[in-house]
Structure 1
């Protein structure tokens, strides 16, 4: 996986740079997301690695319906020419990280013991906006094994306020 990320990184940087210059980050995000979803399918991945599949057929397969950005199609041609189409899922992931950074958005995943209501989500979002000084893109998950509380994962920052986490820390302290 790390090799794939290493290979994908320069392509993702080029895609972000081109999309940002054109003011089309959102359009590229959608197109890359679509292409990555198709490329991630196991049957398609084997086709992309097949010498019998032409570059034009691969680009047609990976292009979203309707009008497609000409520069995005050229980007797919470059990936095809360099045998890098299977890296589209990693490229899309790196692109989204760079896009969030450029748009000053912090992606946060909140895993709670039970479903949160709208007021709780807003309270957490407001506190995180103040802490990070950025907009927050919050996704929620429920894990009853947490017993109570929540875990907030904002990439480099993880706040474990779960009962399970507190019990684990107490167990570690008592064991020492």
Structure 2
């Protein structure tokens, strides 16, 4: 069994699960306590932190990697990915559930009870159910959405795919998304999955992010550049 899977298996078999975490996380906890993020009556702001933040990503990565190793070893990657996607959709579509996962004022026992009810209804693969239980037991449910994203990225990488974030001023049609995916595939040489969202403030055009690269053809950016150019002329 691969090392990551072995570590995770220890956790899902009701044994202590300890995964080294980034020193940034300890720093973040100190900052959170000082600013009132932890200990406040309402836990606002923490759940709104970007899922791509280095703190969350550093915590999520070893969990996702261990789960991927175990799923790959048991030839259940596709089913695990599907189950996690369903869990992610539930979290993103239910504000109360999302807030519960991220709140430090809700007891671990209460969170575990809620998670068990969901797992009983969801009928997830045993690996997924045990993984979520291990995450809950370790007090890391607030990073679960990031773990789900990280697992999806590992699956996409294994399939030779890459993901691209597409932000437009108005919803794009299926044809437009298909054409964009084909164009990006030609440029990158890989199959591209699109994560599309809408931001009316762009006014027009697109913003496309692929990895660390960004193409910004939005009208908002062009107008901003024009304003800067006009100031320089003065």
> How far does residue 143 in structure 1 lie from its aligned partner after superposition?
3.9
Q: Please name the residue that 1:41 is paired with.
A: 98
Query: Structure 1 CA distance, aligned partners of 2:207 and 2:131?
Result: 38
TM-score by length of 1: 0.75
Backbone CA RMSD of aligned residues: 3.2
* Residue 114 of structure 1, CA deviation: 4.1
Alignment partner, residue 108 of structure 1: 164
Q: Return 5+ residue gaps in structure 1 as ranges.
A: none
Q: How many residues align?
A: 175
Residue matched to 1:60: 116
Match of 1:85 in 2: 141
**Cα distance change, pair 141–69 in 1 and its aligned pair in 2 (3 A):** closer
Higher mean C-alpha deviation, range 8-17 or range 31-40: 31-40
Deviates more, 1:85-94 or 1:135-144: 135-144
- The 1-side partners of 2:82 and 2:149 are apart by 12
Contact 1:48-1:85 within 8 A present in 2 as well: no
Q: Distance in 2 between matches of 1:112 and 1:142?
A: 5
TM-score using structure 2 length: 0.59
Q: Is the 8 A contact 2:164 2:211 kept in 1?
A: yes
